[in-house]
Structure 1
């Protein structure tokens, strides 16, 4: 579950972390004419150094503390997991495939027990074998309070795991995970979870040898199960250098290509500096990429006018939605007609322009992004057209008792982040004025904004929000926002509409039982439309990634899972 901050959005992990997602599949370099994933038009080869230029440091480089594949794809070069994402362009990349395991998991009849078998010949960077007990231990240490930061699903899903405090305090371990032999691992869940194979892609499923665990210092030199090992980690991920793990075998790993000899990750850089360096492509920067820095509107305009630069822009889509959120316990938003009136009054053209234009944002009328894996079902229940339907909005306001208009306050972040910042708020203010709705703006600094909208007691009635999925499915998109049992009244709450509808909760449970992911996707799409009729949110847009890469970078692959360039596939000239 992820309400993405500006930092989380940049690293995608989708979080991860991320923006993006509607319509066209992600693709390689624009207008280059290259075949899928070829980038630059030459055959990829091994060797050289790939430089990664990022804004956010690759902090907490410990599989227990990372949130999915936080920091773009850098962690996936070091940490292998039971399953992983399919490393292909576009929609094909939204599929889950085996990684350390021989398959994506074998469920029992009701999907409450999942069994995995490890491939033969798996080794750590020191040549010792990877065992099922190591995966169990890696999961157990992710429960330790001192290693917090990872995704919360395992605590919620594993039987009897809610109060577990990790192996440093509880030597008995998690009884919900069994390892009957060195290659078999069995998970027992509290309830059916047909999407467990997606969860098994998260870094908490990376193996950790108990004898090499150094607790909070493990991030300094985690033991690699992937194609690269950590040889330098300065200033908590500000400068991370990865070199080849000679004990990694491509015969056991169909997904990671591992072309470069070295990966040099430089973080904490200003976004404009990153784009300037990638544009110039001088020296080492010619073989550089970014996994967390988008092109802004002005930069994109400059790049678009330069044929050579335009050929070095990767476009990505990821499951992410920016929206208006309502708190129906706050007047006048307790009246569905008021919420519907605002939905009709929204001018999505002006919102898209405020978000950077149509190249960086795609108008949204559905909460689920327009990708097959989410089960997207096209609908527009409160059709506002491109510029808003002020007449229909006024009609609904009159029915709600506000014939002479309405005055409300819209809460937003003061961050320069286009998603929830002043630009979007001002665009909405102007549009709603045409419908007789006077909008006062309340801008808050990032931390204050996040605390206010995620606390039930302080949540405003009308505010901007955004959400990104941890894997490409309707489940982690709809359940955290609309499942009444996930309302948190004494902590961080994401069900901002405080929706607790038995029929919605029951359908979520029913879909979670399905192990046929295509069938599940269709039902998530139907549920999305059903929830939309309650008008507790108004979808605004799905952002889009536009990212430069160096002139000597080859084999560009951008999937709908992360929406960012996959550095496990990249080669350098």
Structure 2
């Protein structure tokens, strides 16, 4: 099936932007795949638009073996609809699949969908499903399964962990069956990046059969490369190759073994001893030993993972933006990146356009300036400021809190540290300190589009707006950004958003963490992932 007339026009526009130097090759590829252009169309458009890098030849693949993976255990029952932790997500991703997979460079790879295209307003998106795919129960994949999946995820009556991603974008009942293998998503408003919300970046969005009853642990079902054969909570999970997998020559492995560890250090020791072949995630703090081990390769990719230091704009002294700006000016950001990660992170600039996002705007970098910080504090009547910083015990966050305390002291700011367990910090119900304390550090997992941060955390109606910041102009610009297909206009809107947020400083974004993944030398075909997601379809053992 050929690309539509609209896709042809969008593709030509992207090519013109690329040739004019207004977008990068990476941004071209990311946008082209998001618009659903076919591989052939993309290749044709790139002719004359810059030579693709040569690909290194890979050694022959060994079709056997079981790979052993160290990771944290699921914290609750494994259910694709409600899961939110890395352990459960990794289990489900071996068994079930998405319409689309987001690669490490944010290109979109077709999986259960073979093509997708927007209407002229990017408000209706049509998806074509792959033929010949069956669930592990033998049920053929069809439009009814896709409709049921996304009705389930957008239903206000379920405990879907994906509802925040779809809020204001897709409502229950708005997926239409066009044919046995075609569906249309009718959105609440135009959203150019909508395919990303149906991809692996929205981890709950695996396609499940229409009759799914929420009993994944008892009846694990999916279209994926492996079948779950055994699961012991807190200990292990075992998978075997799915003989009916739709990619007939895959997977290469006979099986997968997950071994759960509550802490990072035992994972590191198991990897170094050869008791496991890889770690799902390898945070630098606590894993330093693997970075110099000659038997281990550390794969790495950029990500939008970060820590937001929010300051509640409705609570003194943070009601005055000069105070917020002053604290942000105390940070030695390159020093923090070096001290916490030995350079394995990118400097942040107090706005949500991470360097990994194609088309991220360039605005003046905020740097350490104690003279201006002191002046702002004097003007705000806060020359002897005292604040409490609340934070969780998680990876490098406690060390970051100490860095902030030390760096703010020369500006005359006394920071009292209030450390909490991760469970206590996030809490539940009416007790969720991370949304309530005047100043706190929150860890954010990587996303693939800026709106996945902006909408929940920085708009007036955002469900995770821990700074309680509300700016109507910012909200309007965010909506324009989501609806704009033209790359140049979109870039201009992005710059306005970045400038507005940096000036208001509802949160300090000091760094963007790169995502390492440590593997034994014999592991092949495994990629790092900004969100620590795991696709073992093409993994093998030498």
TM-score normalised over the length of structure 1: 0.76
Q: Structure 2 unaligned segments of length 5 or more: list them.
A: 1-25, 27-53
Of 144, 155, 159, which residue of structure 2 is paired with 1:133? 144
Give how far 1:225 is off: 0.7
Matched, 1:222 2:220: yes
Partner of 2:268: 275
Q: Structure with the greater relative contact order (CA < 8 A, sep ≥ 6): 1 or 2?
A: 1
Give how far 1:504 is off: 1.1
Q: How does 1:49-88 map to 2 (within 5 A)?
A: 49-57=66-74, 59-67=76-84, 71=88, 73-86=90-103
Distance in 1 (CA, whole Å) between partners of 2:219 and 2:434 is 42
Encode CA deviations 1:195-224: one digit per residue, 9 max, x unaligned. Answer: 22111114554333345x3x2323322222
Matched, 1:571 2:535: no
Matched, 1:239 2:233: no
Partner of 1:8: none
SS at match of 1:345: coil
Give how far 1:67 is off: 4.4
Distance 1:516 1:439, change over 3 A: same
8 Å Cα contact 1:557/1:569 also seen in 2? no
Give how far 1:249 is off: 2.1
Of 398, 404, 407, which residue of structure 1 is paired with 2:378? 398
SS at match of 2:461: helix
Distance 1:564 1:113, change over 3 A: closer
SS at match of 1:406: coil
Distance in 2 (CA, whole Å) between partners of 1:186 and 1:116 is 6
Matched, 1:373 2:364: no
SS at match of 2:512: strand
Give how far 1:292 is off: 3.0
Matched, 1:330 2:279: no
Matched, 1:209 2:209: yes
Matched, 1:441 2:417: yes
Encode CA deviations 1:434-477: one digit per residue, 9 max, x unaligned. Answer: 111222223333344334998699733333233334x4111112
Distance 1:102 1:317, change over 3 A: same
8 Å Cα contact 1:370/1:376 also seen in 2? yes
Q: How does 1:122-521 map to 2 (within 5 A)?
A: 122-142=133-153, 143=155, 145=157, 148-154=160-166, 156-159=168-171, 161=172, 174=173, 176-201=174-199, 202=202, 204-211=204-211, 213=212, 215-235=213-233, 238-250=235-247, 258-282=251-275, 285=276, 288-296=277-285, 299-300=287-288, 302-306=289-293, 308-309=294-295, 312-348=297-333, 351-352=336-337, 356-368=340-352, 370-373=354-357, 375-380=359-364, 382-384=366-368, 389-402=369-382, 405-419=383-397, 421=398, 423-451=399-427, 459-469=436-446, 471-486=447-462, 493-515=463-485, 520=490
Distance in 2 (CA, whole Å) between partners of 1:439 and 1:147 is 38
Distance 1:518 1:259, change over 3 A: farther
SS at match of 2:417: strand
8 Å Cα contact 2:303/2:531 also seen in 1? yes
Distance 1:290 1:36, change over 3 A: farther
Encode CA deviations 1:37-61: one digit per residue, 9 max, x unaligned. Answer: 98xx743332110111112338543
8 Å Cα contact 1:338/1:396 also seen in 2? yes
SS at match of 2:357: helix
Partner of 1:7: none
Distance in 2 (CA, whole Å) between partners of 1:517 and 1:568 is 34
TM-score normalised over the length of structure 2: 0.80
